[in-house]
Structure formats: structure tokens, C-alpha cells
């Protein structure tokens, strides 16, 4: 539990770093540099995962790229402490259903109550400004779609990592596969001078390292606990995201948004009970 909750805090932190960079394509390109290097080094020590896990790793890499595209869109059109909780809070709902269908994992009565509470909290987050205006729809829609990609790669990786002989080998392969995509895109679309500024380079690589540690810990946990519980505990990061958004992005906390984030977190905890 402590490792997964810590991974969630790291995840909120690297997302905040990415949100704070002006050019998010470069930000994700630098995260890709860290992922490629980290994945390659890991595989040198672990070797490849079992053959049965490789199709899952390939599918996961594709979904992770879609997730990063959705994340960039969410942060471009929405506030961090609204987009992040909606995206992350959507995932446990879908994972709980998907784990029941695909991994034969059953929810307890507490967990079912958590699903209802979480859904209510998500609705409250979407309406945290009082009512959903036409300007809010793009941000909410992008965040919800991003949440679906999160749920998809969580399910794919949960099944894939259990077929690998080593969770670190599986993680290394995923990082190596997905890492070069945005790096290559940024090399084509951005001049190299935008990469070499010290502040951009250090922040982007820091975000990349944090993302590797955070997701590596989650993959490890998925070999030892039900997928829905891991996904739920990880998304307690929504509370950290709300605090980060207020402290570093001067985003208004607001009593409604605070209450909604707490309800989301409470629902997530019930799912994991």
C-alpha cells in the first residue's frame, strides 16, 4: 500500500512538472529520452520478459502513446487540479469492471460502494465551478478520454506483467518501446535549441525519471495484488494533484473542488478496502 501510494505522489509530481513547461511536446520528448535510456539499461540486466508477455508490452506501448497525447490535450485546455483528478479518477471505475471481466477479480461490497462514491466525486469535479459551461467541455472530455487510456494500459499491463518472469524486465521493455516516439516527433518539429536550455532539460529529465520509478513500482505491485486495488490506491494521487495545482499553478482551490477531491479519494480508498 505504501509503495503504491508513494508511486501516486511521484506520478502527480511528474505530471505537475510537465504541466509547468511551456512546450509539452519537448517535455514528453525528454521524458521519452529518460524512458528509452532507463528501459534499455534495465533490459541489459534483466533480459527480455517471457514471450507470452511481449504482445501485452507492445499493446501497452501503443496505449501509453495515446495516453500521453490525451494528457497533453488535457493540460492545454484545462486546469491541472481539475483535469488530473478527472483523468485519474476515471481509471479505477473502468479497471474494476475490466478486472472482473478479463482477470476474474471480484469486488467486495465496500469496493462497490467505492465505485458509486467515486462516480459521484467525478461528477462533482466536472461541476466544481458550479455548472459545466461550454468552455469546460473540451477539458472535461479530454480528461475523461485520457482516463479511459489509463484504464486500458492498466488492464493490459496487469495481465502482461503476470506473464513475465520479472516485472522489471516487462517495465524495461515498455519504456524502451514507447520512449522514442515523442523524442522522434520533437526532433522533427522542434529546433534542438529548445531542448538544451538548462531549466527545460533538467525539468524534463527529472519528470522522466520520476515517471519510470512511479510506474515501475505500480507494475511490481500488480504482480502481488488485485488490479482494481492497485489502480485505486495509485489514484489517491488526486489529492496531491489538488494541492500541487494550488501551490504551484495558483489555481483556485475552492471549497467545491476540495470537497470533490476528498470524495474521489474516499471512493478510491473504499475500492481498495
Nearest Cα to Cα of residue 158 among 220, 203, 213, 115: 220
pLDDT in tens, 7-64: 888 988 888 888 778 788 888 899 999 999 999 999 999 999 999 999 999 999 999 9
With 80 as the cut, is the pLDDT of residue 133 above it? Answer: no
**CB-based contact 245:74 (threshold 8 Å):** no
**What integer is the mean pLDDT of 152-180?**
94
Q: In the prediction, which pLDDT does 117 show?
A: 84
Give CA separation, 26 vs 36, 139, 198, 210, 260, in Å: 15, 21, 13, 17, 32
In the chain, % of residues over pLDDT 70: 90
pLDDT in tens, 78-101: 776 667 777 777 777 788 778 877
Could you tell me the three cell numbers for 61? Answer: 506501448
**What integer is the mean pLDDT of 195-199?**
77
Cα separation of 114 and 269, whole Å? Answer: 7
pLDDT bucket at 252, cuts 50 / 70 / 90 = low
Q: In the prediction, which pLDDT does 210 show?
A: 94
Contacts with 76 (C-beta within 8 Å, 6 or more apart), sequence order: 24
With 80 as the cut, is the pLDDT of residue 201 above it? Answer: yes
Cα separation of 90 and 113, whole Å? Answer: 15
Predicted TM-score of the model (pTM):
0.82
Amino acid at each position: 500500500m505504501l509503495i503504491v501510494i508513494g508511486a501516486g505522489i511521484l506520478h502527480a509530481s511528474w505530471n505537475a512538472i510537465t504541466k509547468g513547461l511551456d512546450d509539452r511536446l519537448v517535455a514528453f520528448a525528454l521524458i521519452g529520452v529518460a524512458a528509452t535510456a532507463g528501459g534499455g539499461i534495465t533490459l541489459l540486466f534483466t533480459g527480455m520478459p517471457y514471450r507470452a508477455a511481449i504482445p501485452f508490452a507492445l499493446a501497452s506501448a501503443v496505449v501509453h502513446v495515446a495516453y500521453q497525447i490525451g494528457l497533453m490535450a488535457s493540460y492545454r485546455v484545462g486546469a491541472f487540479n481539475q483535469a488530473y483528478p478527472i483523468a485519474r479518477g476515471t481509471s479505477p471505475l473502468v479497471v474494476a469492471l475490466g478486472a472482473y471481466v478479463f482477470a476474474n477479480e471480484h469486488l467486495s461490497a465496500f469496493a462497490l460502494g467505492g465505485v458509486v462514491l467515486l462516480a459521484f466525486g467525478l461528477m462533482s469535479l466536472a461541476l466544481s465551478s458550479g455548472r459545466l459551461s461550454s468552455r469546460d467541455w473540451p477539458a472535461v472530455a479530454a480528461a475523461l478520454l485520457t482516463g479511459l487510456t489509463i484504464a486500458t494500459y492498466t488492464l493490459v499491463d496487469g495481465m502482461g506483467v503476470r506473464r513475465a518472469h520479472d516485472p522489471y524486465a516487462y517495465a524495461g521493455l515498455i519504456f524502451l518501446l514507447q520512449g522514442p516516439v515523442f523524442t522522434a516527433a520533437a526532433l522533427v518539429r522542434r529546433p534542438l535549441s529548445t531542448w538544451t536550455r538548462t531549466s527545460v532539460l533538467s525539468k524534463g529529465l527529472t519528470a522522466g525519471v520520476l515517471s519510470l520509478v512511479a510506474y515501475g513500482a505500480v507494475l511490481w505491485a500488480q504482480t502481488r495484488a488485485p488490479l482494481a486495488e492497485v489502480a485505486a490506491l495509485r489514484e489517491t494521487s488526486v489529492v496531491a494533484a489538488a494541492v500541487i495545482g494550488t501551490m504551484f499553478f495558483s489555481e483556485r482551490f475552492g471549497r467545491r473542488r476540495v470537497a470533490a477531491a476528498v470524495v474521489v479519494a474516499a471512493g478510491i480508498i473504499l475500492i481498495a478496502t
